[in-house]
Amino acid sequence: MGLVRLFFKGVSEIVASDEVGLLMLVNEERTRQVAIICDAAMVRQFSLRVGKAEITPILAPEVLWQVISRNLEMRFQVVINDLVDGQYKTLLYMPDILQAIPIRASDGVLIAQIANLPIYMEEHLLMRQGMPFKESDVGVSVPVNVISNEMLQKALEKAVGEEDYEKASQIRDELLRRGGKDYKP
């Protein structure tokens, strides 16, 4: 098992949530996709760049990348290599010097978009977390294990408030399966 190259497919907001969005990545063959959960601020950052806003060349991430790339003759990659407590573990990797710096997954994808860097994911992780991809699909499934306990707790409260007890039961079971950490009945 090795690394699989991924490509940014798009960003979307999660229905019924103003606070959370999804960054969609697909493999080269366009057969599997993976969703990375991000906050509303990151959705805004991607929306600026997808819409090709005229201001983006002078935004801090673009300017900092220009400084780095002009002063370092080095290659960079973004590598997603694990999932711990609902968060993808991601590295900004420098293969020329075999060094890596941990980075939040959504920030890593943003840097990759700005700097045209390759994004890789461990193959076993893509096979476990990825979903089949079809161009014609409108929605996307997200494995529950990429959703943080805090987000699950909010989803539980919402499901109970909407009297959707079947969904509430499933969410409660997932929180209990995780050891009840941060679970508030």
In this prediction, residues 24-35 reach a mean pLDDT of: 94
In this prediction, residues 106-129 reach a mean pLDDT of: 96
For residue range 14-29, list pLDDT tens digits in order.
655 667 788 999 999 9
Higher pLDDT, 117 or 14: 117
| pLDDT band, very low/low/confident/very high, at 175 (cuts 50, 70, 90) | confident
In terms of residues, how long is the chain?
185
**pLDDT for 185:** 54
pTM for the predicted model, two decimal places = 0.77
